[in-house]
Amino acid sequence: MKHYKAPIKDIWTGRVSNKWLYLHEKVHCTPLEELPEAQKKSIALLGYACDEGVSRNQGRPGAVNGPDAIKSSFAKMPNHLPGQVLLHDVGNITCDNGDMEAAQETLSDTVLTLLQKKQFPIVLGGGHDVAYGHYHGIERYLDTKKEAQTIGIINFDAHFDLRKNTEQNNSGTPFYQIAMECQEEHIDFNYLCLGIRKDANDRVLFQTARDLDVTYVMSDTFQAPFLEEINTWIHAFVKNVDHVYVTIDLDGFSSAYAPGVSAPSPMGFTPYIVLECLKTIMGSGKLISLDIAEMNPKYDIDGQTAKLAASLVHHVAHSIAGS
């Protein structure tokens, strides 16, 4: 398949126990064409190896290697997944010759396939343009159902990513693109942003967010002392949608935790507040898919950002598995 590479087994290395104590011993490297329909709980890790959108958005390239860096770090972590829960690495979507739009289309097709095969997709990026293709894969899957079902997007991020795509699509435009398509289809654009910073978004972006009726929590409120209030907003948002798609932009974290990103800042949020919010979201039973964006190993320090991303995947995977 064009814009697709099968999983690489060499990424999955670590301490050997011969007792499935580590995730590299648990994972199945399964090309998409060989992936069966899941008969029990099954998680599929899919890379989005593309930073063309970052380059178009005047960011630092390097996130193309993000998916494999996250998988490599995740491989070394302890495995607490129940034996009956399956874990697959299904490879990476690639961006050939700068054709980001084709990569997004392939991502959409692949997410649709994963959901149809009853896999829980965890997509690893790659630029935040991952969100456009990922969302459409979910939307197409839900369109196959007999009843209309709504999607709520929860974005952990310093940025709205609501830039207008008047010149070209990039890593800063995915949610604006989705919003415009929602308007064309006469459906609600359900978008909650957690961790927004004034020093990361200009006045036009704040006005666009207001015009589109986006719900957002500013960074000075997205902190542990306000967790109860934040959870109230999350509960209210989730209550009004049928399914939740979560996207986590690593550049929303403080660079103390995530130096290896396309747009680092020391003023970002902490891992603790994200983990607590994820507990609330997953507790709703509505989470349908999740991605992690902007992992840039070129600028990482001692693999710190890759470890953060891998820890987030570890948390989500084990929560889904009920372990």
Instruction: Detail the residues annotated as belonging to a binding site.
Output: 128, 157, 159, 161, 249, 251
**Helix ranges, the chain (H):** 23-26, 52-56, 66-75, 100-116, 130-143, 174-185, 203-211, 227-239, 271-283, 304-321
Residues in the chain: 323
Instruction: Please provide the distance, in angstroms rounded to a whole number, between the alpha carbons at the two ends of the chain.
Output: 35
Only one residue has tokens 């979507």, namely: 93
Q: Which residues of 125-162 are buried (b: 16+ CB within 10 A; e: fewer)?
A: bbbbbbbbbbbbbbbebbeeeeeeeebbbbbbbbbbbb
- Which residues are documented as binding site for Mn(2+)? 128, 157, 159, 161, 249, 251
CA–CA separation, 164 vs 169, rounded Å?
Answer: 8
List, as one string, the DSSP characters of 230-261: HHHHHHHHHHT-SEEEEEEEGGGB-TTT--SB
**Cis status of the peptide bond prior to 172, with omega within 30 of 0:** no
Dist CA 248 CA 309 (whole Å): 9
For residue 226, give both structure tokens. Answer: 């306000």
Token couple for 316: 């989500």
Q: Are the C-beta atoms of 295 and 124 separated by less than 8 Å?
A: yes
